[in-house]
């Protein structure tokens, strides 16, 4: 590309640049020619990076257990997964209980939603016996992706009051 341009310039003469090209020689002219292009690329690249990181920040703020996960568990899961109604050998009321060893395998594998039953059961077709919630309404897609993101981020689930999922009145879930 450089060669072509240089040859063309030599042949036709470049009115805009010939005065500076002649005394300084070809090497400098090439750098000078190339420079605005390089800056243009840098500006384009910086703009792309800025947009990408802005989008990233908007869609990817870490999931907050108390604000985003606890309400889902409270409304849709603990009615069947609490200390009295221990369906599927599973209590989802605290982190310690949810992480208890079960014969059927781990419920939550932090940083790996694809290996976590808690996420997988939400993605099963409704007619599957393991699809959750076992009865009633399907859980909305945005809540499923929030749970997925939360697990992939490490399934942060605080101890104490913040992490304690209490049973809501049955009707409030529907
Ligand atoms: C109406 C009752 C009910 C509700 C509501 C419910 N579950 Fe379950 N859950 C069950 C039953 C029953 C099983 C046992 C199913 C089996 O083993 O075949 C089970 C099992 C599970 C298991 C273990 C699956 C396995 O194979 O180890 C997970 C994980 C689970 N539920 C997650 C959830 C989540 C998350 C929610 C809320 C979105 C939820 N459940 C809501 C009844 C319920």
Rounded to whole angstroms, what are the CA distances from 69 to 45, 135, 143, 150? 37, 20, 8, 8
Looking at the fold, whether 169 and 105 belong to one and the same domain comes out as: yes
- Looking at the fold, whether 35 and 79 belong to one and the same domain comes out as no
- Range 131-155 average pLDDT: 95
Q: For 81, phi and psi rounded to 5 degrees?
A: -120, 65
Q: What is the whole-number distance in angstroms between the Cα of residue 99 and the centre of ligand 1?
A: 14
Q: Residues with Cβ within 6 A of ligand 1?
A: 76-77, 79-81, 87-88, 90, 104, 107, 117-118, 121, 129-130, 132-135, 139
pLDDT, position 120: 96
Cβ proximity of 108 and 118 under 8 Å: yes
* Number of domains forming the structure of the chain: 2
Verify that 126 and 146 share a domain, yes or no.
Answer: yes
Per the structure, the complete domain to which residue 114 belongs is given by 65-173
Higher local confidence (pLDDT), 77 or 173: 77
* Whether the predicted pLDDT of 18 surpasses 70: no
Question: How does pLDDT run across 158-174, given as a tens digit for each residue?
Answer: 999 999 999 875 544 43
Whether 147 and 95 map to the same domain: the answer is: yes
> Are 29 and 75 found together in one domain?
no
130 Cα–ligand 1 center, Å: 7
Q: How far is residue 93's CA from residue 91's CA, in Å, rounded to a whole number?
A: 6
Residues 55 and 70 in one domain: no
74 with 162: CB under 8 angstroms?
no
């Amino acid at each position: 590309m450089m060669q072509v341009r240089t040859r063309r310039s030599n042949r036709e003469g470049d009115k805009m640049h010939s005065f500076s090209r002649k005394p300084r020689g070809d090497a400098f002219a090439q750098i000078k020619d190339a420079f605005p292009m390089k800056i243009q690329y840098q500006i384009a690249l910086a703009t792309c990076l800025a947009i990408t990181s802005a989008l990233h920040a908007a869609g990817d703020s870490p999931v907050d257990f108390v604000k985003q996960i606890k309400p889902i568990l409270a409304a849709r899961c603990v009615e069947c997964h609490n200390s009295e109604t221990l369906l599927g050998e599973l209590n989802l009321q605290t982190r310690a209980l949810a992480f208890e060893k079960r014969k059927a395998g781990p419920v939550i594998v932090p940083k790996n939603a694809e290996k976590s039953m808690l996420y997988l059961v939400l993605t099963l077709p409704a007619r599957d016996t393991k699809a959750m919630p076992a009865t009633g309404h399907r859980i909305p897609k945005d809540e499923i992706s929030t749970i997925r993101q939360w697990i992939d981020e490490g399934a942060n689930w605080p101890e104490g009051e913040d992490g304690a999922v209490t049973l809501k009145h049955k009707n409030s879930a529907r």
